[in-house]
Structure 1
Amino acid sequence: MEIINSLLDKIYDGTFPDACRARLAAAICTTRDALSHQRKAHWDEKDVVLITYADQFRESEAPTLRTFSRFYQQHLQSSFNLVHLLPFFPYSSDDGFSVIDYHQVSAICGDWSDVAELHQHTRLMFDFVCNHISAHSRWFKHYLAMDAGWDDFFISMPPATDLSGVTRPRTSPLLTPFEMADGSTRFIWTTFSADQIDLNFANPEVLLRMADVLLDYLAKGADYVRLDAVGYMWKTPGTNCIHLEKTHQLVKLFRAIANVVAPGTVIITETNVPHKDNISYLGNGYDEAQMVYQFSLPPLVLHAIHYGSSRALKQWAASLGTGDGTTTFFNFLASHDGIGLNPLRGILPETEIVSLVRDLATEGALISWKNNPDGTASPYEINVTYMDALNKKEDDDDTRLQRFMLAHALLLAFPGVPAIYVQSILGSRNDMEGVKVAGHNRAINREKYAISAIEAALGDRKSLRHRVYHALSALIQLRIRQPAFHPDTPMEVLESDNALLVIGRQPVKKHDALLCIYNLSGREVTWSLPENRRYRNINNDERIEGDAPVSLAPWGWLWLKG
């Protein structure tokens, strides 16, 4: 508890009430003593995460978690040993990220017994939506009613307050007016939408309630805990209100609580920001997040394949370095959100970012914008399935599959723990009808399915879904058999033509080393292997001598052991 108490003193400048401190200590001890679930001690090459909604698949009169559990056991368990369930709590908007009650399971999904049943078959990652809560929550209703003890749970500001320096991820107003019980109007801080009310962590009671949420998730079996939109947690008017030191201290506090209660729990921060800000949440390697979302990877892989050039991806990859085994990256290409563009800033010039956005919009992608402090707006993310991001409307399915598998062969080879979105393993295309129904861009990549329809599609050998599912499943299963892909194994970026990306993964046992070669272009490219070595193509067991060049077909790739 010494670390926890020290962090409380730093966050609250020595003013954290003794009574609150005692309540927190008691809750931590009670949860720790009652816990029976043991976490995996460390990550390895066998760890591959599936990102999915708990109500992804539906059938009549069945809780969706039970339907998902059956589908997972039949179709996904051999590829994914950890499932990230996107928020499965009662919610009012944003497909779950406007939580009404942190401690309940949404009725359509089932109840906590259904979560526990799924947990019998896989490890689980929960979303901790720690920055904001639904405007329809009991907490906010207590606040609007001006009930005793709830006055400082949220942040109200005079509308004339100069907040122009606050970093904005949206174009919606930062302050939203709400009518109070006495008829007055308060302008409440709403970073993401009028239905997502930012919590006031400066109030110790808020900290206690959110610590209770974390403890509940640990008690319910969360192996990984994802801190959603964590960079915005602490607000200080007059600053940019993102990545503030007290925000980092809050993340350290959550990590310290998890360390005491459930050792082995992995804390992951979700910060869709430039790379240097993103990795700052790894702290000193021991005191903050164990993993950060690798937000630069999705747009850089897309950029490389779109333009047939590894220049930017190669330069960035060479700068990553290798951790000491205490932290790693959470690598992904697609997610429930769009493809973030902020992580490209500082890596690519703005003209190239805008050019990529324009090209994809021409092919049917949607674009979300953010407001800048100077009053201008910039593209914030591209809303599109990763399948359609990589391809043009007129491409045939053979070409779509080639580019898609190239991108995922890259994902699975990078240092870190890879995560694959359910729409990707299902080979999904843009859901434009979903956008019309939902009224927001992100619905383009959030389609839900009747279980009978998706199983029929996966059984149709001619369908793109069938081809993607089988090809990507086989690739994942090949990946998890390679010690070189352990997240902690160093990566070396080798010199090559800009049409190619060549990386080496060198584990302690040198005979397990892998050379990974990717042709990002639509033309055939050759590359000379290092001399005096013999290689084996682990995809087909072909033997290759090191004194001859290898030829890669358009969007082709090789994993060579030697």
Structure 2
Amino acid sequence: MHERLEGTLRPLPAHRRTTFLLRVARWWEDLLAGLTPYPDPLAVAGRALELAASAYRDRDEELHLLDERRSLEPDWFQRPEVVGYAAYAERLAPEGTGLAGVAGTVGHLKELGVRYLHLMPLLQPRPAPNDGGYAVADFRRVREDLGTMEDLRALATTLRGEGISLCLDLVLNHVAREHPWAVAARAGEERYRAYFHVFPDRTIPDRYEASLPEVFPDFAPGSFTWDEDLQGWVWTTFNSFQWDLAWDNPDVFCELADVVLFLANQGVEVLRLDAIAFLWKRMGTACQNEPEVHQLTQALRALARIAAPAVVFKAEAIVAPDDVVHYLGQGRHHGKVSDLAYHNSLMVQVWSMLACRDSRLATHALARVPAVPSTTAWITYLRCHDDIGWAVDDADARAVMADGAGHRVFLSDYYSGQFPGSTAQGLVFQHNPATGDRRISGSAASLAGLGTALDLLDLAANLEAQEEAVHEVDLAVARVLLGYAVVYGFGGLPVIWSGDEVAQLNDADWAAVPEHAGDNRWAHRPRLDRGRVRQAEADPDSAPGRVWAGMRHLATVRASLPHLHASVPAEPVAAPDRGVFAVLRRHPLGPMLGLYNVTEEPRQVPGWWVREHGLPPEQSVDALNGYPPNLSPDGGVHLSTYQPVWLVRA
């Protein structure tokens, strides 16, 4: 192996060869340990190193420089000045402009402080239906309507020049039935048949399905699909056209490792590892979060560190808090798995607080999330491309004298507008009558009630009705900004979902595209409304204008606060007033206390309680406005309707 590596690296100057070998020495143990699920981990590690050497040799000089810079600044994605943005490329760019049009949005992104851009799946999928692009038919081609791989490389270069890192999805669990590996398997090539889980009859699938949950019970029940060409049942966790890969086959590991290195060499800096929780299959389990998943991810990360250390991994693991922390590394994998992971619980709890005007469940649930390695970061967000599943743990609910099942029903009723007094305009997604589960689709502004408020304003027949409607608009705007203040103030890497920055509502025409008609999540995936952006810029008093200004202000203040570096843990603490959500961050420069009024009514936190957390109110400043906090006569901190306060030492 040593001779083959030397041959691969020979065209490079001596210092480049030395750097590669030093990285191998640094990461070899992590690579080898991660490959222990295979019978001969040493042989697999050797194959993987050859792939890494080839990718390293072919890496552009500009990317080598980025690698060196990131090696000196490994915390770049943890820094408080980093804000993220997520969008579908074709919905962010002007219609028909593809990846070139995305480059034209850089000015808009920089206004928001964006340093990280996540473009939703854009590698070549199968023809529709394709699960929103997650049924990939070719990892090395870009969707034809967006451009070419050369266009992607050019976009990455442009973004990098503006200080913005490009994040792309890499689906690890499955490929489309039309992917060349699946085509070869259907053609009878045994090597590629072994890339998938194929069974001649229902005996083994039935044993597996006894413990497997269904992901899409409405339109893709079951986890196996009969394929005539294969003459077998193939594992299909998500849809019949998405074939699960057999990660117990080391050939599959090497194939995906090569894809990781290929995308890294296109200038991709963050890889979102999609459906990562499902990689390893074990009879009698839910086939999620198995230990081998963390081992193999560690091996992939070590390999990327050798060839392209500028690249970081983001785990798309929407699982229970006790499980998700393992994707950032626990125990022997501490800090060795992914660098980023989604804090799904934070999103769920923010919406829960806004619905019930009570912070107790959120405080308890979020406080018991295990600590994560100080070298990693949560992705925090108010909305994303997906539906909201009400992941409220029954034990957490009982701890605050609530009923978990009842609360989940309440949240679905509230955000679908069925609960009396609710102004939310969400849509029920994937109602499961067997479990009562009803997930919710909807944009942040629509869930916050802005659509209902604007409808009231349009219908107002007199001054009193108009004033009431204006008040409802004010409340909806305040809810959106409060939600984002929690997200920005929690630490980690906050990500804006496209359109939220100008309070876009649900897309009324979401079903007009035939392949979207059966999936109401497209209601909250609208094209970025450029008219609304212009309105936000021109009319600061409008709802879009206030949200736009508020989001920019949050980013500016956040960048000035070292307390919000992701290495500083967020500690939810129970405030004396249940209407206030409180988060403490202990930094060497002094503590930061985030206080968030989750109600329409004014609230107050006693001065003695604030003082107990290291911040005498009279010696503190609210970083969000630069002034001392509003104190009541008895020294308590006063919070107005839906007000966020970031207290630090004056």
Give the TM-score normalised by structure 1.
0.91
Q: Provide the residue aligned with 1:117 in structure 2.
A: 158
Task: Find the aligned partners of 2:635 and 2:83 in 1 and give their Cα distance.
Answer: 34
Equivalent position to 1:54, from 86, 89, 99 = 89
Post-superposition CA distance 1:497-554 (Å, at most 9, x none): 10111223231112xx432211111211122224554222223332348762232222
Q: In structure 1, what is the equivalent of residue 223 of structure 2?
A: 174
Q: Secondary structure at the residue paired with 2:620?
A: strand
Taking structure 1 as reference, are residues 147 and 4 closer, same or farther at Cα in structure 2, changes over 3 Å only? same
Is 1:65 the counterpart of 2:99 in the alignment? yes
Can you list the C-alpha shifts for 1:14-44, whole angstroms capped at 9, x where unaligned? 24694x5543221112223443132341121
C-alpha distance in structure 2 between counterparts of 1:99 and 1:341, whole Å: 28
Which stretch of structure 1 is more off in the superposition, 247-256 or 402-411? 247-256
| Counterpart pick for 1:398 among 454, 462, 474 | 474
Larger Rg over CA atoms: 2
Higher relative helix content: 2
Q: Is the 8 A contact 2:502 2:533 kept in 1?
A: no
- Supply the distance in 1 between the matched residues of 2:560 and 2:185 (Cα, whole angstroms): 53
CA distance in structure 2 between the partners assigned to 1:169 and 1:61 by the alignment: 33
The answer for the alignment partner of 1:354 in structure 2 is 409
Question: CA distance change for structure 1 residues 407 and 21 in 2, over 3 Å: closer, same or farther?
Answer: closer
Counterpart in the other structure of 2:623: 538
Could you say what secondary structure the match of 1:90 adopts? strand
Is the Cα contact below 8 Å between 1:295 and 1:343 reproduced in 2?
A: no
| Distance of 1:455 and 1:543 partners within structure 2 | 33
| Cα distance in 2 between the residues matched to 1:521 and 1:176 | 49
What secondary structure sits across from 1:309 in the alignment?
coil
Residues 237-256 of structure 1: matches in 2 within 5 Å?
Answer: 237-256=283-302
**What are the within-5 Å matches in structure 2 for residues 297-308 of structure 1?**
297-308=346-357
Question: 1:258 touches 1:265 (CA, 8 Å); kept in 2?
Answer: yes
Alpha-carbon distance between aligned partners in 2 of 1:228 and 1:221, rounded to the nearest angstrom: 19
Tell whether 2:248 aligns with 1:222: no
- Partners of 2:34 and 2:295 within 8 A in 1: yes
Q: Which residue of 1 aligns with 2:343?
A: 294
Which amino acid is the alignment partner of residue 65 of structure 1? L
The yes-or-no answer on 1:507 pairing with 2:587 is yes
Asked if 1:102 is matched to 2:139, the reply is yes
Conserved? CA contact 1:179–1:185, under 8 Å: yes
2: CA distance between counterparts of 1:526 and 1:314? 17
Structure 2 alignment gaps of length 5 or more? 1-27, 398-403, 419-423, 454-471
**Residue equivalent to 1:522:** 600
Q: CA deviation at 1:77?
A: 5.1
Deviation of 1:286 after TM superposition, in Å, equals 2.5
Structure 1 stretch displaced more, 482-491 or 205-214: 482-491
CA separation in 2, counterparts of 1:343 and 1:494?
18
Name the structure 2 match of 1:557: 644
Identical residues among aligned pairs (%): 23
Q: Does the Cα contact within 8 Å between 2:83 and 2:114 map onto a contact in 1? A: yes
Tell me the C-alpha RMSD between the 2 structures.
Answer: 2.5
1:517 maps to amino acid = L
User: After alignment, is 452-461 or 252-261 more displaced?
Assistant: 452-461
Distance 1:89 1:561 in 2: 45
Partners of 2:628 and 2:95 in 1: CA distance:
52
Partner of 1:368: 429
> Any idea what SS the aligned residue of 2:198 has?
coil
Q: Which runs of 4+ in 1 moved over 6 A?
A: none
User: Is structure 2 residue 52 aligned with structure 1 residue 11?
Assistant: no
The superposition leaves residues 48-89 of structure 1 with CA deviations (integer Å, 9 ceiling, x where unpaired) of 111122222344663x22212211224435511111122211
Summarize deviations over 1:141-180 as a string: whole Å, max 9, x none: 2222223532212212323432220133221221122220
- Are residue 487 (structure 1) and residue 521 (structure 2) matched? no
Question: CA–CA distance in 1 between the matches of 2:578 and 2:292?
Answer: 42
**Partner amino acid for 1:219?**
N
Mark the CA change 1:453 to 1:522 in structure 2 (over 3 Å): closer, same or farther. Answer: closer
**Cα displacement string for residues 88-146 of structure 1 (whole angstroms, at most 9, x for unaligned residues):** 11123222211121111222222232333333221122211111112222222222222
After TM superposition, the score normalised by the length of structure 2 is: 0.79
* CA drift at 1:322: 4.8
Partner of 2:251: 205
Q: Secondary structure at the match of 1:225?
A: strand
Name 2:390's counterpart in structure 1. 341
For 1:236 and 1:321, the matched residues in 2 are separated by 26
Query: Are positions 1:283 and 2:324 aligned together?
Result: no
User: What is the identity, as a one-letter code, of the residue corresponding to 2:411?
Assistant: L
Q: CA deviation at 1:233?
A: 0.7
Structure 2 partner of 1:150: 192
Counterpart in 2 of 1:388?
446
Q: Is the 8 A contact 2:113 2:552 kept in 1?
A: yes
